[in-house]
Amino acid sequence: MSVDSSTVKKVASLARIAVTDADAEKLVPELNSIIGWVEQLGEVDVTGVEPMTAVIPNTLRLRDDVVNADPQTGGGIRDKVLANAPQAEHGFFAVPKVIE
């Protein structure tokens, strides 16, 4: 499989990264070199092999279903949540107009 300039632009659009035509042209050989190289994995016989989901066996835990079970990840810290926002107004994140 190899990518061309229009595929690079489509992938960049999916990744929400603006690229110029010149950027896309430069990325084509770089990405093709990497993609061509990782395709060697296709030659490995993986019959009956499950893809890895957990590198060390572990069980998922459930915390108590209460507000603020852990104060550090709980609520009531609006100002802290907004402290690093590029733009915050009236206790909310502010973004450009979304709906006309």
Residue numbers at the binding site for another protein (CB under 8 A) = 1, 3, 7-8, 11-19, 27, 30-31, 33-35, 37-42, 44, 46, 49-56, 58, 60-61, 63, 70, 72-73, 77, 80-81, 83-87, 93, 95-98
Cβ proximity to another protein: between 41 and 67 the closer is 41
Q: Is 67 exposed, middle or buried (0-12, 13-18, 19+ CB in 10 A)?
A: exposed
Provide, rounded to whole angstroms, the least separation between the CB of residue 31 and another protein.
6
Token match 């066996």: residue?
Answer: 57
Q: What CA dihedral angle connects 77, 79, 84 and 85, to 10 degrees?
A: 110
Provide, rounded to whole angstroms, the least separation between the CB of residue 47 and another protein.
9
Provide, rounded to whole angstroms, the least separation between the CB of residue 64 and another protein.
11
Provide, rounded to whole angstroms, the least separation between the CB of residue 87 and another protein.
7
Q: Say how many CA atoms lie within 13 Å of 63 toward its Cβ.
A: 8
User: Residue 52 carries which DSSP code?
Assistant: P
Cβ proximity to another protein: between 25 and 39 the closer is 39
Rg (CA), the chain: 23
